[in-house]
Amino acid sequence: MMKWIWRSLVAVVLLIGVVAVAGLAYREQVQSHAEAQLAITSPNGIDDALYVPIRGSEQWITIRGRDKANPVVLIIHGGPGFAHAPFVNAMLPYEQSYTLVQWDQPGAAKTFRRAGNRIPADLTIADVVDDGIAVAELVKARLHADKIILLGWSWGSMIGIEMAHKRPDLFAAYVGTGQLVSLAANEAMAYANVLATARQRGVTQAIKELEAIGPPPYSSYAELTTERKWAGDFAGGNESVVALLTLAMVGPRYSLGDVASYVRGLLASQDHFMGPTLDGPMFHVDLGATATEFELPIVFIQGTDDNVTPAALARGYFDRLTAPRKDYVAIEGGGHAAIVDNTATFLAALNEHVRPLVAGAAH
């Protein structure tokens, strides 16, 4: 009997080993293919990845583009904690026309790992805004740019628009996508939209789960995760957390240690800014009450099917803004991840509505 049990245990261990080896081999193959796509060979191209000193800490940035003469776009990632490393290959079309700067915010990915996999207990949303401004100043100096384009996505749109509000002199324009306005209002409208979609499509399991949690406000991540899960599933593409973490697992230029820090940073950032019972500082932001007057052009590029930061709420906020120039671009059928799921349409909107502003911003 003991011999049989021992042989069974050995067989299980061997099976786990085979699966692990196969998984690592698959990861290496995917990374190798992705790395080949990332190669920049143009004579005036740039492909930098480094830690930079930002207000007393070392933070990770990447700078990529086919021609350093192109306009510079500083992208403020979502989350909190959703650094854009998993999307590096999805951003390749933009690198033909723009020099993209990606920044791992405090509490995210490689910046989180450099900080010993911890977030300062006293880190505030205002601190992240000030760090973003310091990154913008550094990027302007490093790339000899007069002004740069600032693009905020989701949580990053809350950080980015505050950066633009505080230091308009740094930026040729602010671009918001998946534009957050008020998380409380966003979640209420998103829940109603997702439940309506579930009923329209006749997805019984979604209807059951969504009706069970009821509309927000929520007091647990389990409830919020249920609503976000169905929002991502109905939108498809790169909106679900599972899809994002899968991309992180096989992302090029990412070690397994980087992946572990990515996940740990994501969880820590969500807990820090949203709170264990969903009453953290992020839930007390209302941009409609604090940031409506701007001294630079404002452009929103919003997916019409966004069920995380609903387009109707973003449009209502946009209509209340005052700015030297403002444009609202709707991507029909685009979701919360329109920037990576609808790249051709999004890039066309950037080229038409934002790129001309760079030349006009030079002084």
Per-10-residue mean pLDDT of the chain, 363 residues long, equals 43 41 56 72 94 97 96 96 85 95 97 96 97 98 96 97 98 97 88 89 91 87 83 65 66 84 93 90 92 97 91 95 97 91 96 90 49
Q: What is the pLDDT of residue 28?
A: 65
CA atoms lying within 13 Å on the CB side of residue 15: 6
CA atoms lying within 13 Å on the CB side of residue 47: 14
Q: What is the pLDDT of residue 30?
A: 62
64/100 same-domain check: yes
Q: What is the pLDDT of residue 255?
A: 86
Give the Cβ contact number of residue 36 at 10 Å.
9
140/285 same-domain check: yes
CB proximity list for 76: less than 8 A, separation 6 or greater: 103, 105, 132, 150, 151, 152, 153, 156, 157, 159, 160, 163
Backbone φ, ψ for residue 33 (5° rounding): -65, -45
Q: How far apart are CA 363 and CA 359, in angstroms?
A: 9
Q: How far apart are CA 341 and CA 27, in angstroms?
A: 22
**Nearest Cα to Cα of residue 82 among 287, 192, 247:** 247
264/135 same-domain check: yes
Q: 153 lies in a domain?
A: yes
245/96 same-domain check: yes
pTM for the whole structure: 0.88
Q: What is the pLDDT of residue 302?
A: 96
265/301 same-domain check: yes
Q: What is the dihedral of CA 104, 150, 319, 200, to 10 degrees?
A: -40
**Nearest Cα to Cα of residue 40 among 103, 109, 104, 100:** 100
Q: What is the pLDDT of residue 183?
A: 87
Q: 206 lies in a domain?
A: no
Q: What is the pLDDT of residue 237?
A: 55
Q: 12 lies in a domain?
A: yes
**Nearest Cα to Cα of residue 342 among 194, 177, 187, 161:** 177
55/101 same-domain check: yes
